[in-house]
C-alpha cells in the first residue's frame, strides 16, 4: 500500500475504548463497509449543518417583511433545538424498533423535503399563517435531523467500536465545513436569485443523497440492553450542556458588520474542525486522557469567556483581533471537550452492564444529541437575556463561570469514583 493507505490503517487500527470483552478487529485495513459508513455520515453532517445555518443571513429580514417580530423570529430559530432535544430522546429509545438505516435515510429525506418547503414560504400570506408554517417546517426539519444524526452516531459506533472518538472527530470537519459554507452560500444565492433559491438548491442536494445512502449504508442487527447509566455518564451529559455556550455568541454578535461576523465564526469553526480529529485520535489511543481533556477543555473555555468581553475588572480594551484569537482558542477547547464525550459515555454504559448492540448505541446517541440540543436552545436564549440585562462583558463572564461550575462538578465525581474503585480493591484484598 502507499503511504497514505498505511497512515489511514494506522489511525483506524484497534485501540482502547471499545466494549469490554469485544473481539478485536483482525484487519487493520479500512473495509468497504466502513468506508460507506463514513461517506454516509459525512453527507448528513455536511448537509444538516448547511441546512441549519443557511437561515442566518437573510431570514430575519424576510420575516420582518411579513410582519413577524424579533421575538417570534427568535422563537422560530429556537424551536429547532427544543424539538431536536425531544426527538433525539424518542428516536434513541426506539432506534432498534425503527431500524438504524431506515431512520437515517428517512430523516435525510424529510430534511431535504422540508428545506425545499421553506423556500416557498415567501408565497404564504403574512400574519399568523406565515408564522404557523414557519414553525411547522422548522419543527419537521428538527425532528428529521434528530432521526438522521441519532442513527448516524449509532451506526458509526457499531462500525468503528474501537475508534469512535477518532471517527467522530474526523467527521466534525464536515460539520464545521457545513457551518462555514451555509451562511455565505445562502447569502450569495439570496442576493443573486432571491429567497427561494438557497432552500431549493440545498434541499435538492440533500434529496439526491438519499438514494446514494439507501444503496451504500449497511444494515446492522440489534442486540438488547439492561441496567442503568453510571453517575459519571450522567455528569458527562450535564457537562455537554456547558459546551453549547458558544451558541451564546449567535445572539450577541448581531451588531457586528457582516464581514466581521464571518471572520469571527470562521476562526471558531476552523479551529474546532481541525483540532477535533487530533483529540479524537488521542482519545482512542490513550483512553485515560479523556477525563483530562474534558476538565482542561472546560478550564480553557472558562478563561476564553472571561477574556471575550473582556470582563471589566481586567481593564483590557476589546479588539477584533483579540476576539478572533480567543474564539480560535475556544474552538480548540471545544474540540478537546466535545469529542471525548461520546466514547466516554459509551464506555460508562458498557461498564455498568449495557450489552453491546444498537439498542445501547441508540440510547447513548439519543442522550448525546439531546444534551446538544438543550445547550443549543439555552445558549442563545440565556445569552440574549444576559446581554440585555448586564451587557456583553458580564454576560460572557457568566458563561465562563458556567464552565467553571462544570469543571468543579466533573472533578468531584471523577475523584469520588476513583476513591470508590480504590476502596473496593483494598476491601477485596
pLDDT in tens, 9-49: 444 444 444 554 444 443 456 788 888 889 989 988 888 88
Q: Which residue has the cell 419543527?
A: 139
Residue 262: predicted pLDDT: 57
What is the per-residue DSSP string for 268-302? Answer: HHHHHHHHHHHHHHHHHHSTTHHHHHHHHHHHHHH
Residue 141 backbone zone (phi > 0: left; psi -120 to 50: alpha; other: beta): alpha
Structure confidence by residue, pLDDT tens digits, 288-318: 888 888 888 888 888 888 887 788 888 777 7
Which pLDDT score, from 0 to 100, does residue 51 have? Answer: 81
- b/e for 410-422, b at 16 or more Cβ within 10 A? beebbeebeeeee
Calpha distance 375→152 (Å, rounded): 20
pLDDT tens digits, one per residue of 81-94: 788 888 888 888 88
Q: Round the average pLDDT of the chain to a whole number and report it.
A: 76
Q: Does residue 404 have a cis peptide bond before it, meaning omega lies within 30 degrees of 0? A: no
Across the range 41-69, mean pLDDT stands at: 82
- Local confidence band at 358 (pLDDT 50, 70, 90 cut-offs): low
Please state, in angstroms and as integers, the Cα–Cα distance from residue 264 to each residue in 66, 305, 346, 374, following that order: 30, 14, 34, 24
Q: What angle do CA 129, 134, 135 make, to 5 degrees?
A: 100
Mean pLDDT within 116-141: 90
Residue 97 above 50 pLDDT? yes
- Using pLDDT thresholds of 50, 70 and 90, give the confidence band for residue 384: low
Closest CA to 217 of 44, 16, 65: 44
Does CATH number 3.40.50.10680 belong to domain 227-429?
Answer: no
Residue 180 grid cell: 462555514
* pLDDT band, residue 424 (cuts 50/70/90): low
Question: How many angstroms separate the CA atoms of 52 and 91, rounded?
Answer: 20
Q: Give the H or E element holding residue 92.
A: helix 70-93
| Nearest Cα residue to 145 out of 101, 196, 106 | 106
The pLDDT value given to residue 144: 92
Task: Enumerate residues 6+ apart whose C-beta is below 8 A from 423.
Answer: none
Query: For the whole prediction, is pTM greater than 0.85?
Result: no
- What is the distance between the alpha carbons of residues 171 and 338, in angstroms, rounded to a whole number? 13
Task: State the Cα–Cα distance between residues 110 and 322, nearest whole angstrom.
Answer: 41
Distance CA 319, CA 243 (A): 24
Is residue 101 over pLDDT 80?
Answer: yes
CATH number for the domain formed by residue range(s) 33-220: 1.20.1250.20
* Domain extent listing, the chain: 33-220, 227-429
**Amino acid 417: pLDDT:** 66
The SS3 assignment for 310 reads: coil
What's the pLDDT band for 189 if we cut at 50, 70, 90?
Answer: confident
Give me the pLDDT at residue 267, please: 74
Mean pLDDT of the region 186-201:
86
Beta carbons of 161 and 18 less than 8 angstroms apart? yes
User: In this predicted structure, what is the pLDDT of residue 236?
Assistant: 47
* Separation between Cα atoms, residue 408 and residue 413, nearest integer Å: 9
Distance in angstroms (rounded) separating the CA atoms of residues 29 and 14: 10
Percent of the chain surpassing pLDDT 70:
76
User: What's the confidence (pLDDT) of residue 132?
Assistant: 92
The pLDDT of residue 162 is 79
Do the domains at 33-220 and 227-429 have one common CATH topology?
A: yes
Grid cell at residue 374: 438543550
The larger pLDDT score, comparing residue 418 to residue 276, is at 276
Is the C-alpha dihedral spanning 361, 378, 268, 262 positive or negative? positive
Per-residue pLDDT at 137 = 93
Amino acid at each position: 500500500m502507499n503511504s497514505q493507505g498505511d497512515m489511514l490503517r494506522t489511525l483506524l487500527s484497534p485501540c482502547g475504548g471499545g466494549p469490554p470483552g469485544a473481539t478485536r478487529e483482525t484487519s487493520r485495513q479500512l473495509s468497504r463497509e466502513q468506508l460507506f459508513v463514513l461517506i454516509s455520515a459525512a453527507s448528513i453532517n455536511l448537509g444538516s449543518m448547511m441546512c441549519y445555518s443557511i437561515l442566518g443571513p437573510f431570514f430575519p429580514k424576510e420575516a420582518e417583511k411579513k410582519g413577524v417580530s424579533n421575538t417570534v423570529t427568535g422563537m422560530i430559530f429556537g424551536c429547532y433545538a427544543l424539538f431536536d432535544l425531544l426527538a433525539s430522546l424518542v428516536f434513541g429509545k426506539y432506534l432498534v424498533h425503527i431500524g438504524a438505516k431506515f431512520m437515517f435515510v428517512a430523516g435525510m429525506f424529510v430534511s431535504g423535503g422540508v428545506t425545499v418547503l421553506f423556500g416557498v414560504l415567501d408565497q404564504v400570506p403574512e400574519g399568523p399563517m406565515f408564522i404557523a408554517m414557519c414553525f411547522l417546517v422548522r419543527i419537521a426539519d428538527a425532528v428529521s435531523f434528530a432521526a438522521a444524526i441519532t442513527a448516524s452516531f449509532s451506526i458509526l459506533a457499531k462500525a468503528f467500536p474501537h475508534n469512535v472518538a477518532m471517527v467522530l472527530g474526523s467527521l466534525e470537519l464536515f460539520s464545521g465545513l457545513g457551518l462555514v459554507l451555509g451562511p455565505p452560500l445562502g447569502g450569495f444565492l439570496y442576493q443573486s436569485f432571491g429567497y427561494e433559491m438557497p432552500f431549493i438548491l440545498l434541499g435538492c442536494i440533500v434529496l439526491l443523497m438519499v438514494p446514494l445512502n439507501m444503496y451504500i449504508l449497511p444494515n446492522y442487527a440489534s442486540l438488547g440492553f439492561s441496567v442503568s447509566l453510571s453517575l459519571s455518564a450522567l455528569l458527562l451529559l450535564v457537562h455537554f450542556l456547558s459546551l453549547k455556550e458558544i451558541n451564546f455568541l449567535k445572539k450577541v454578535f448581531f451588531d457586528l458588520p457582516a464581514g466581521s461576523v464571518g471572520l469571527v465564526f470562521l476562526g471558531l469553526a476552523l479551529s474546532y474542525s481541525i483540532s477535533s480529529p487530533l483529540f479524537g485520535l488521542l482519545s482512542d489511543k490513550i483512553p485515560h486522557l479523556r477525563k483530562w481533556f474534558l476538565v482542561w477543555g472546560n478550564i480553557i473555555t472558562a478563561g476564553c469567556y472571561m477574556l471575550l468581553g473582556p470582563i471589566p475588572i481586567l481593564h483590557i480594551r476589546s479588539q477584533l483581533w483579540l476576539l478572533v484569537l480567543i474564539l480560535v482558542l475556544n474552538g480548540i477547547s471545544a474540540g478537546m471537550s466535545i469529542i471525548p464525550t461520546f466514547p466516554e459515555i459509551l464506555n460508562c454504559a458498557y461498564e455498568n452492564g449495557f450489552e453491546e448492540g444498537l439498542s445501547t448505541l441508540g440510547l447513548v446517541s439519543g442522550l448525546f444529541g439531546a444534551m446538544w440540543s438543550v445547550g443549543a436552545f439555552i445558549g442563545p436564549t440565556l445569552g440574549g437575556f444576559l446581554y440585555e440585562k448586564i451587557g456583553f462583558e458580564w454576560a460572557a463572564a457568566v458563561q465562563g463561570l458556567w464552565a467553571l461550575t462544570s469543571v468543579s462538578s466533573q472533578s468531584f465525581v471523577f475523584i469520588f469514583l476513583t476513591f470508590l474503585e480504590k476502596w473496593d480493591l483494598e476491601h477485596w484484598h
